[in-house]
Structure 1
Amino acid sequence: MLNSSLQDSAAPEGVCYGCGSSNPHGLHIKSYWHEDGVHIMAEHLPDAMYCGWPDLVYGGMIAMLVDCHSSWTAMAYHYRSERREPDTEPGITCVTGNLGIKFLRPTPMGIPLTLRAKVEGDVGRKTRVICEVYAGAVLTAIGDSIFVRVDTEQLAAAAHGRKVDTRDY
């Protein structure tokens, strides 16, 4: 594994609530390459405020963990396929194209969650990521999602209604 997380290496100024290193109110999810060179790993212990049903993790929290961690898995994959380190320019950004979550079992509060993700395939700018969520040794959820590589300036401009060349995102 890297000494610093993918988030801290590639986007230390990141403001995402889930994984942004510089969001003072965020969760600060940290993702790392596993020693197998295939999986990206993260651990998170949800605070009690993210309780859904009594003593269970809120499903939206699980979805956010899968979303952020899977996005970083896609970006790490692109950096590696270009034989670059995450702290090199130009930066690589992937956004969620489709987020799929299958809840297999209730996820208990008070147990550290492990996220284990890998790229299942990519076509052009689209990358499919499978992300498993474990509470201890128990698999509780699986994400099957698509992430799209984008130019963030173009994407932000389009989101705010500014004219852009839509072929770029």
Structure 2
Amino acid sequence: MPSTAFQDCYPDDFAHCYGCGKNNEHGHHLKSYWDGDTTVARFTPQPYHTGGVPGNVYGGLIASLLDCHGAGSAAAAACKAEGREMGSAPPMRFVTASLKVDYLRPTPIDGELEVRGEIVEVKPRKVTVSLSLSAHGEVCARGHMIAVRLPDSAAGQQ
């Protein structure tokens, strides 16, 4: 895996996201990378990420991880499609237009979670990403995201 996460290429004024912003001291600091033709991120939940069922992760955390990994994956895929490096000017920033999450089974809190993304479609202003979240090698949740590109004027270029 490359040493620079997608999210670390975001301009500082767009690096404050609770889920993945490097400049949010209280956030999750999710880091996403290419792994062949798919994307991957890993996250270790803490005891306070518990949900309504003891020993399992809160569903909102799962949605948050899928959301941030999906948006980062969309930006990376769009850059790749244009033959650009992440972080090149103007920066490409994507936001979630739609996120559907299917919770397949309880997600254990006692270990690292793996989030994977498969790029389904890249268009100039929209990227579709299929997502999964696994614990202990079992898929616990699946997601489907449509991410839209922010205009360059809103993505850090003034």
TM-score normalized with structure 2 length: 0.91
2:33 and 2:122 map into 1 onto residues whose CA distance is: 20
Q: Counterpart of 2:2?
A: 2
Q: Counterpart of 1:31?
A: 32
Aligned CA distance change for structure 1 residues 4 and 122 (closer, same or farther; 3 Å)? closer
Shift, 1:12, TM fit: 4.9
Note the alpha carbon deviations across 1:98-155, whole angstroms, 9 max, x for none: 0100111110111200011021113441211111101021010001111001127559
Q: Counterpart of 2:115?
A: 115
Counterpart residue type for residue 22 of structure 1: N
Counterpart residue type for residue 147 of structure 2: F
Conserved 8 A contact 2:91-2:152: no
Does 1 or 2 have the higher relative contact order (CA < 8 Å, sep 6+)? 2
After TM superposition, the runs of 4+ consecutive aligned structure 1 residues lying more than 4 A away are 152-155
Question: 1:84-163 maps to which residues of 2 (within 5 A)?
Answer: 84-151=84-151, 153-154=153-154
Q: Counterpart of 1:45?
A: 44
Q: CA RMSD in A?
A: 1.5
Structure 1, unmatched stretches of 5+, are 156-169
1:152 and 1:51 map into 2 onto residues whose CA distance is: 38
Determine which structure has more spread, i.e. the larger CA radius of gyration: 1
Name the count of aligned residue pairs. 153
Q: Percent identity?
A: 36
TM-score normalized with structure 1 length: 0.85
Task: Please give the secondary structure, in 1, of the residue aligned with 2:64.
Answer: helix
